[in-house]
Structure 1
Amino acid sequence: MPQTNHRSAVALSLCLLLAGAGAQANARAADGLQRLALSDIQEQAQAPQKSVTGDTNPATQIPLPDPVQQAPAPEQTQPLAPAPTEAEPAENVDPARPQVKENGTPAVVEYDFSKLPAPVREMRERILAAAKSGDIEALRPLIGTGENMTTLSLSGFEGDPIEYLKGLSGDSNGQEVLAILVDLLDTGYVHLDAGGQNELYVWPYFFAYPIDKLTPKQMVELYQIITSGDFEEMKTFGAYIFYRIGISPDGKWQFFVAGD
């Protein structure tokens, strides 16, 4: 009996030791699981989140806003330039084109060439002398070259200016054009845009005079330059559109053109 009790005590002691060891193992395992779970949470908490600004500092993270549809930017338009008024004429007006003011006072017609500024008077006399010579080449030094050349066409031309004038003439030598120059410079003239940037002395005065207000005397002067058929066409247009000559106050021959 005592021997049996001794075995039982040993077995009981062994069971208690195994139970204690198992409990310690379970405790260590549970502690390990707890540590693993905490480490996972810490790693997830420390993992950087994407930011709008690209900043990886968790303290400065800004949550991404919900996408919203942005309204389209207003269309950019250029302001319209104000239309030129009578007080402020457009700067790009071609002074060689017809300048008749509707319902306005007709330009003052002058016949006294002594009233012309000396440079204008001198250029007129030089053109007359060249035209009366019968040699169209005599106009070449008066027409000039390059940017300072006299305007001979409203739409421009290419080539030699003297050859161009010959092409306009009814004869091959350009003498009809020379005769037109003489006729124009012997008529009355008008002084336009006095003191302005387009100040000019222009022949014939019909260039700036309403053709429906011509007197019988002025009609005779007009028929010295054009035919009655030409006049009927001009009435339809409403202005004189045959050849005209413009000289600036400094004596430069600005233009010799026809058309509208």
Structure 2
Amino acid sequence: MRLPSLVGIALAALVAGAAALVHAEQGADNKQATAPEVLYDLNALPDPVKAMLHQIGNAAATGEIEKMRPVLESNELKPMVAAAYIDDPIGHWKKESADGTGRDVLAAMLDMMSSGFVLTGKGDEAMYVWPYFAEADITKLSPAQEVELYRLLPAPDAIAMKKAGKYSGYKLGISTSGVWHYFIK
């Protein structure tokens, strides 16, 4: 009985890792070609994406990270929360959080969801990504966009990312079908 569950975990990790690599490669290609259009109108999102955002936002707003568990379990596969497969995203977020409760992670989710976002990829590969900085050249931000970046990150972090030329904070990805693919740094 133990073998099938290990095989299932390995398969899930392989699929999630492959999806992340494909998305990362597409993101790099998109940045080099043309910057995607920054979107702000949540009402223009497909209904499955709005539904997933609503679930994530409602759970995060409670301040109780365990409220996120049903959202995670409603997904086809658990979203990626780190470069390697993590069986318990909530345990991971608690461990990574500043206070051990994960509330700062929930706050980061809510902050990101209030920022602009982009649609990357096409067809079955299409993905909505928050914040749009994850797919933008942050060395070329307008003054208003810089203010938006400072709303998401402490100034020293934002400045370091601008110098590095890459956003490296949390990012959230939801497919057009409403599948939550990742919330990773």
TM-score band w.r.t. shorter chain: 0.7 to 0.9
The CA deviation string for residues 115-158 of structure 1, in whole angstroms up to 9 with x for no partner, is 1000001110111110001110011121228971111111333x
Structure 2 distance, partners of 1:124, 1:147, is 15
1:98 and 1:241 in contact (8 A); partners too: no
RMSD: 2.4
Determine which of 72, 94, 119 is the counterpart of 1:191. Answer: 119
Structure 1 distance, partners of 2:160, 2:110, is 23
2:142 counterpart residue number: 215
2:75 and 2:180 in contact (8 A); partners too: no
2:81 and 2:184 in contact (8 A); partners too: yes
The CA deviation string for residues 10-50 of structure 1, in whole angstroms up to 9 with x for no partner, is xxxxxxxxxxxxxxxxxxxxxxxxxxxxxxxxxxxxxxxxx
1:126 counterpart residue number: 55
Residue identity over aligned pairs, in percent, reads: 37
Structure 2 distance, partners of 1:218, 1:192, is 19
- Superposition pairs for residues 5-24 of structure 1, below 5 Å? none
Structure 1 distance, partners of 2:130, 2:158, is 17
One-letter code aligned to 2:129: V
Kindly state the Cα deviation for residue 221 of structure 1 after the two structures are TM-superposed: 0.5
Decide whether aligned partners of structure 1 residues 135 and 97 sit closer, same or farther in structure 2, where only a CA change above 3 A counts. farther
The CA deviation string for residues 161-186 of structure 1, in whole angstroms up to 9 with x for no partner, is 21111111111211111100100001
Question: Which of 1 and 2 has higher RCO (CA within 8 Å, sep 6+)?
Answer: 2
Give ranges in structure 1 of 5+ residues lacking alignment: 1-89
2:127 and 2:175 in contact (8 A); partners too: yes
2:71 counterpart residue number: 142
> For the pair shown, which has the larger CA radius of gyration, 1 or 2?
1
Determine which of 109, 118, 142 is the counterpart of 2:38. Answer: 109
| SS of 1:246 mapped into structure 2 | strand
Q: TM-score, normalised by structure 1?
A: 0.59
Kindly state the Cα deviation for residue 160 of structure 1 after the two structures are TM-superposed: 2.6
Determine which of 153, 165, 169 is the counterpart of 1:238. Answer: 165
Give ranges in structure 2 of 5+ residues lacking alignment: 1-17
Decide whether aligned partners of structure 1 residues 214 and 179 sit closer, same or farther in structure 2, where only a CA change above 3 A counts. same
Structure 2 distance, partners of 1:217, 1:235, is 15
Q: TM-score, normalised by structure 2?
A: 0.81
Structure 2 distance, partners of 1:97, 1:125, is 28
Query: Is the aligned partner of 1:201 residue 2:128?
Result: yes
